[in-house]
């Protein structure tokens, strides 16, 4: 089984307990990160009406719900919200939670949407799970309208961690896998998380890859001891 298929299979297996594990492990802090990502994207896009937002690696649908709720807070008329994910298990959970949204079972490199059809495309804690990342970024560019935004929330690799960063790494490597493994009864899946961060990109490399894929960086910020990083880039 190829690497991408193994990752998808892993998410199929942990889908039923994914939300519970995430809330416990992040202590709910991820909600503030998601809110900030949505609010800033709406601010940078600066339009009162948005036709379509696409959430890639949508998982169980939480980010899609944030886009909807924050559009109401920001008085934005939002049309369609589309979730894209290769895991049937995760999307089945999302459909139960948020039946009003539209979904596609598809890879990040093969989004079944027309060219220049989306205003905003987000991927939250999913880009490090995409094996062909550069191809995915080009696909994001294809799907976005000119001037559209890509919004990335991710656990980035930190090559020179501060003291707080080292504390973060200890939590991510030693504590988090055991908590997630206990809740899901799948230790291997949650050992994958810190390993995937260690194998992943730095913020600087991610910015460079976005630029090479045809974007200009609009905003970059790391939150909570650099646990999570937000990148917003505009299609040129």
pLDDT in tens, 101-129: 999 999 999 999 999 999 999 999 889 88
Q: Is 135 exposed, middle or buried (0-12, 13-18, 19+ CB in 10 A)?
A: middle
d(CA 33, CA 37): 6
Report pLDDT for 30. Answer: 82
Q: Which residues touch 182 (CB under 8 Å, ≥6 apart)?
A: none
Range of the domain at 209: 3-8+27-159+203-235
Q: What is the DSSP letter of 200?
A: S
Instruction: Provide, rounded to the nearest whole percent, the portion of the chain with pLDDT above 70.
Output: 83
- Residues 230 and 211: beta-carbon distance below 8 Å: no
Report pLDDT for 225. Answer: 65
- Model confidence at 22, pLDDT cuts 50, 70, 90, reads low
Nearest Cα to Cα of residue 87 among 132, 129, 37: 129
For the beta carbon of residue 68, count every other beta carbon within 10 angstroms.
16
In a domain, 207, yes or no: yes
Mean pLDDT computed over 50-73 = 97
CATH number, domain containing residue 87:
3.40.50.150
In a domain, 185, yes or no: no
Report pLDDT for 8. Answer: 75
Binding residues for S-adenosyl-L-methionine: 60, 85
More confident residue, 150 or 169: 150
Binding residues: 60, 85
| pLDDT averaged over every residue in the chain | 87
Q: What is the DSSP letter of 132?
A: S
> How many angstroms separate the first and last alpha carbons of the chain?
37
How many domains does the structure of the chain reveal?
A: 1
Report pLDDT for 224. Answer: 65
In a domain, 180, yes or no: no
Report pLDDT for 134. Answer: 95
Q: What is the DSSP letter of 15?
A: G
Q: Is 36 exposed, middle or buried (0-12, 13-18, 19+ CB in 10 A)?
A: middle
Count of H helices and E strands in the chain? 10, 7
- Model confidence at 38, pLDDT cuts 50, 70, 90, reads very high
Instruction: Provide, rounded to the nearest whole percent, the portion of the chain with pLDDT above 90.
Output: 60
């Amino acid at each position: 089984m190829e690497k991408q298929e193994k990752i998808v299979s892993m998410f199929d297996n942990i889908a039923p307990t994914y939300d519970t594990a995430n809330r416990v492990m992040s202590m709910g802090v991820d909600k503030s990160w998601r809110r900030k990502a949505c609010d800033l994207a709406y601010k940078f896009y600066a339009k009162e009406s948005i036709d379509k937002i696409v959430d890639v690696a949508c998982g169980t649908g939480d980010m899609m719900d944030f886009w909807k709720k924050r559009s109401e807070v920001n008085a934005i008329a939002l049309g369609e919200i589309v979730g894209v994910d290769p895991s049937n298990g995760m999307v089945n959970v999302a459909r139960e939670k948020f039946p009003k949204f539209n979904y596609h079972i598809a890879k990040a490199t093969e989004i079944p949407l027309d060219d220049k059809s989306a205003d905003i495309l987000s991927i939250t804690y999913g880009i490090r799970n995409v094996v062909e990342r550069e191809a995915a970024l080009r696909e994001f560019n294809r799907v976005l309208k000119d001037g559209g935004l890509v919004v990335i929330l991710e656990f980035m690799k930190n090559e020179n961690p501060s003291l707080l960063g080292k504390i973060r790494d200890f939590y991510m490597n030693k504590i988090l896998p055991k908590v997630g493994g206990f809740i899901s009864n799948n230790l291997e899946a949650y050992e994958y998380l810190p390993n995937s961060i260690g194998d992943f990109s730095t913020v600087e490399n991610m910015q460079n890859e976005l630029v090479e894929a045809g974007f200009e960086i609009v905003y970059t910020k790391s939150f909570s001891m650099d646990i999570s990083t937000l990148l917003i880039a505009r299609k040129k």
